[in-house]
């Protein structure tokens, strides 16, 4: 009996312990849920804070961008104002320079025929496009009749930088020299930068080499004669007294041909006088900036600004190579030199003309390549080397034809 009571009591205590354990477990679960909820709330609060900070940063960046945009707009407006002022000053300066140019040309006792703008307008029929035969860097060229003579009138583009200076140089040079291989300046209109030349019926060497308008190819004999004449005209400029004249823009587009394929050098607007004391020396005349046409400019002159008569020799070399290949100037010296080394020289020659005199043409090409040497000192002398060799080749072909 006593044992039963003790067992009952133990059973009751066990039940109490079990209930307490269940309650404790429930309480622990509730505490865990509370903890997890608290952590979620803390995480939400952290994320909300970060989002608020990010939003604030975005707003700050937007405000900064708006301020910078406003400042940039202000700077652009100031720059536009400055540009307008500079443009006005430039226009004023250009007008003053134009007037000075006119004064210089008119009052330097230069003998040339002066035309009024009215005479030019009448001759060109108001600059009628139907009379336009070309357009270069200087401006359009019109073929017309003036003083009962067929002429070419070159008109200065009003927007051309240093155009007035080129006009003045052209008049100064061509009015004081005469040579059968220099284009003849018949007159000018200084008020509007118009230049009146003799008309050259066969146009430029460039147009004929590349057969513009489906023109016939230039015969080999004529090509070598043209090369000799170009060198003759160039030597005339280089031997000018008291100071040599460097052309600075020798290229096929600036060599004109008359009806008999006699060649004449034109466009001396970029030409510069070089002190005779340094013309052929290693110490050359320094220019502030290289001028000319890409692919024809002496690399040494382009890099250093040092100008000498041998600067023209490089350009002449490229022109000579074009005369026999009728190819563009870019990389032409390398192309010809490589062809000679590989024995493929004939493949680079102008195939539109038959019966090429290979031996003479090869000698011609080797001379041209020497002219294209990168250093001035490595290029041959025009008077003592280049001209005699060109004359020799030209004479051989003349004799062969006879």
Quick one: pLDDT band at residue 318, thresholds 50, 70, 90?
A: very high
Closest-CA residue to 255 (of 179, 307, 177, 203): 203
Q: Is the pLDDT of residue 100 over 70?
A: no
Q: Is the pLDDT of residue 19 over 70?
A: yes
Give the number of other CB atoms < 10 A from CB of residue 140: 18
Q: If DSSP codes are grouped into helix, strand and coil, which group holds residue 307?
A: strand
* 118-133 residue pLDDT tens: 999 999 999 999 999 9
- Cβ–Cβ < 8 Å for 265, 181: yes
Structural tokens at position 96: 């003053």
Q: How far apart are CA 87 and CA 210, in angstroms?
A: 40
Closest-CA residue to 238 (of 318, 294, 329, 308): 308
Q: Structurally, what CATH architecture does the domain formed by 205-401 represent?
A: Orthogonal Bundle (1.10)
Closest-CA residue to 232 (of 111, 394, 366): 394
Q: How far apart are CA 351 and CA 334, in angstroms?
A: 19
User: 14-28, 44-58, 68-82: which range is least confident on average?
Assistant: 14-28
Provide the residue ranges of all domains of the chain, joining segments of one domain with +: 113-198, 205-401
Quick one: pLDDT band at residue 282, thresholds 50, 70, 90?
A: very low
Q: Is the pLDDT of residue 38 over 70?
A: yes
Quick one: pLDDT band at residue 161, thresholds 50, 70, 90?
A: low
Look at residue 34 in the predicted model and tell me its pLDDT: 80
Quick one: pLDDT band at residue 162, thresholds 50, 70, 90?
A: low
Burial grade of 69 (CB within 10 A; 0-12, 13-18, 19 or more): exposed
Q: How far apart are CA 291 and CA 302, in angstroms?
A: 8
Angle (deg, nearest 10), helices 332-342 and 309-325: 60
Look at residue 263 in the predicted model and tell me its pLDDT: 97
Q: pTM for this structure?
A: 0.70
Q: How far apart are CA 311 and CA 295, in angstroms?
A: 13
Q: Which of these is catalytic: 207, 249, 312, 402?
A: 249
* 188-198 residue pLDDT tens: 998 888 899 99
Of residues 51 and 348, more confidently modeled: 348
Look at residue 96 in the predicted model and tell me its pLDDT: 61
Q: In this structure, which CATH number among 3.30.200.20, 3.20.20.70, 3.30.70.3270, 3.20.20.140 belongs to the domain 113-198?
A: 3.30.200.20
* 359-370 residue pLDDT tens: 999 999 999 999
Q: How far apart are CA 384 and CA 168, in angstroms?
A: 32
Of residues 65 and 95, more confidently modeled: 65
Q: How far apart are CA 336 and CA 330, in angstroms?
A: 12
Of residues 370 and 135, more confidently modeled: 370
Of residues 343 and 34, more confidently modeled: 343
- Cβ–Cβ < 8 Å for 127, 140: yes
Look at residue 288 in the predicted model and tell me its pLDDT: 40
Judge whether 249 counts as a catalytic residue.
yes
Q: How far apart are CA 367 and CA 365, in angstroms?
A: 5
* 290-305 residue pLDDT tens: 556 889 999 998 888 8
Phi-psi region of 125 (alpha: psi -120 to 50; beta: other; left: phi over 0): left
């Amino acid at each position: 009996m006593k044992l039963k009571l003790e067992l009952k009591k133990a059973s009751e205590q066990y039940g109490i312990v079990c209930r307490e354990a269940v309650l404790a477990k429930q309480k622990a679960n509730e505490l865990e849920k509370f903890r997890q909820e608290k952590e979620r709330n803390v995480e939400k609060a952290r994320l909300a804070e970060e989002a608020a900070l990010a939003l604030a940063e975005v707003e700050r960046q937007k405000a900064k961008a708006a301020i910078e945009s406003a400042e940039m707009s202000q700077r652009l407006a100031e720059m536009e104002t400055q540009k307008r002022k500079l443009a006005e000053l430039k226009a004023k300066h250009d007008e003053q320079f134009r007037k000075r140019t006119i004064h210089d040309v008119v009052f330097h006792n230069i003998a040339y025929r002066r035309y009024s703008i009215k005479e030019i307008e009448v001759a060109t029929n108001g600059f009628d496009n139907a009379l336009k035969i070309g357009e270069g860097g200087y401006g359009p060229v019109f073929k017309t009749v003036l003083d009962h003579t067929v002429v070419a009138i070159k008109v200065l583009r009003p927007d051309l930088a240093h155009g007035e200076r080129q006009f003045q140089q052209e008049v100064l040079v061509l009015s004081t020299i005469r040579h059968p291989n220099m284009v003849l300046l018949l007159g000018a209109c200084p008020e509007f930068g118009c230049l009146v030349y003799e008309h050259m019926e066969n146009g430029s060497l460039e147009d004929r080499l590349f057969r513009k308008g489906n023109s016939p190819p230039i015969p080999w004999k004529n090509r070598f004669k043209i090369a000799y004449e170009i060198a003759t005209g160039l030597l005339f400029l280089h031997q000018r007294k008291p100071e040599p004249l460097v052309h600075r823009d020798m290229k096929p587009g600036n060599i004109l041909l008359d009806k008999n394929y006699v060649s004449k050098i034109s466009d001396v607007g970029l030409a510069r006088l070089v002190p005779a004391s340094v013309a052929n020396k290693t110490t050359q005349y320094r220019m502030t900036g290289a001028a000319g046409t890409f692919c024809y400019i002496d690399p040494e002159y382009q890099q250093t600004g040092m100008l000498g008569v041998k600067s023209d020799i490089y350009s002449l070399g490229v022109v000579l190579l074009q005369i026999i290949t009728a190819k563009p100037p870019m990389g032409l010296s390398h192309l010809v030199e490589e062809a000679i080394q590989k024995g493929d020289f004939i493949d680079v020659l102008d195939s539109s003309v038959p019966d090429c005199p290979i031996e003479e043409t090869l000698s011609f090409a080797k001379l041209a390549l020497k002219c294209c040497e990168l250093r001035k000192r490595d290029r041959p002398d025009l008077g003592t080397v280049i001209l005699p060799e060109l004359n020799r080749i030209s004479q051989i072909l003349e004799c062969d034809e006879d």
